[in-house]
Amino acid sequence: MRFKIQVVIENEHQQEQIQNIVCLEKGSHQGHCAGLSLIESKYILKELQQRIILHQAEDYTNSNMACPCCQKQRRIKGYNTMQYKTLFGTVVIPSLRLYECACSEEPAKIFSVLKSWLPEHISPELQYIETKWASYISYERTAALMQDVLPVHATQNAVTVRNHLHKVAKRQERELEGKPLCLSGCANDWAKLPKPDKPLTVGIDGGYVRSWRDKQTNFEVIVGKSFSKIKPSKRFGFVQVLDSKPQRRLLHLLNEQGMQANQQITFR
Ligand SMILES: [Zn+2]
């Protein structure tokens, strides 16, 4: 039996374009695997991702050739390529470079059209899965597991996972900068708030971890978990001697769980 997998691309004028993805020969005898194999599924995902992103990029480029102020076509400088890393493979996208329009403040400036659509060379979902898995298991196991089940780029390894996780962590740290350090208002204001939900419970514990660089030294890690009756639990952790804003971190976590200033919190 033969299974042909195609993608049908339909534009805004309802014109269709059909592209072949793969043709699979599948038997129904003993010894033949039922359904898709892991290799086939990875290949199909990768091919689909490639076709979809390339068409989206072409469409975005065509729609953004003109200057948004005066609607004149901007002059073409040339093409580069950009590598966009996703959970379903790395896609090499032709990237058009244009001169800024004469009506712009910097008419000689050259820019890539796709930059405003894809400001980063790595998809948010790839960063999310790498960061989530690497927070449970080692960087090396994360990279190996992803290689096992997803058509991620072959060069993805423990170092790239670590670099991406650190990038996400630094962004979260920057976001924490503007958050409040303590509860705002006073007890009189808090008394006027609506009746709060059930009490929040925060469990805190600590432990000593051996330093990776200097094996003779230890450092103390504080970890905790906040339990709410209405929202999923959240965890936090910090190294007391290094963290400059542990109070802000805990308050932000409790606020994310919908804590009200007049709500009872139990620390254990
Ligand atoms: Zn213009």
What's the pLDDT tens digit per position in 170-188?
A: 888 888 887 777 777 777 7
Provide the residue ranges of all domains of the chain, joining segments of one domain with +: 2-121, 125-175, 187-267
- Confirm if 151 and 88 have CB atoms less than 8 A apart: yes
User: What is the per-residue pLDDT for 128?
Assistant: 94
User: 12 or 194: whose pLDDT is higher?
Assistant: 12
Q: How confident is the model over 103-115, as pLDDT tens digits?
A: 878 777 999 999 9
Mind listing the pLDDT tens digit for each residue in 204-249?
A: 999 998 887 888 888 899 998 988 777 888 888 888 888 888 888 8
| pLDDT of the residue at 103 | 86
Query: Could you give the CA distance from residue 131 to residue 238 in angstroms, rounded to a whole number?
Result: 17
The rounded Å distance from CA 68 to ligand 1 centre is 7
pTM of the shown model: 0.77
The CA 66 to ligand 1 mean position distance, Å, reads 8
Residue 84 Cα to ligand 1 midpoint, Å, equals 29
Q: Model confidence over 180-211: pLDDT tens digits?
A: 777 777 777 777 777 777 778 889 999 998 88
105 Cα: distance to centroid of ligand 1 (angstroms): 10
Distance 92 CA to ligand 1 centre (A): 30
Q: How far is the CA of 56 from the centre of ligand 1 (A)?
A: 24
Give the pLDDT score at 264.
81
Res 58 pLDDT > 80: yes
Ligand 1 centre and the CA of 173: distance in Å? Answer: 38
What is the spatial distance between Cα 228 and Cα 157, in angstroms, rounded to a whole number?
37
Cβ(133)–Cβ(162) below 8 Å: no
Q: What is the pLDDT of residues 111-159, one digit of tens each?
A: 999 999 999 999 999 999 999 999 899 999 999 999 999 998 888 899 9
Cα(41)–Cα(89) distance, integer angstroms: 12
Q: What is the mean pLDDT of residues 34-44?
A: 91
- How many Å lie between the centroid of ligand 1 and the Cα of residue 63? 15
Question: What is the secondary structure of the chain as a DSSP string?
Answer: -EEEEEEEEE-TT--EEEEEEEEEE---STTSPSS--HHHHHHHHHHHHHHHHHHHHHHHHHHTSB-TTT-PBPPEEEEEEEEEEETTEEEEEEEEEEEPPTTSS-TT-EEEGGGGT-SSSB-HHHHHHHHHHHHHS-HHHHHHHHHHHS---TT--HHHHHHHHHHHHHHHHHHHHTS-SS--S-HHHHHTSPPP-SPEEEEEEEEEEE-SSSTT-EEEEEEEEEE-SSS--EEEEEETTT-S-HHHHHHHHHHHTT--TT--EEE-
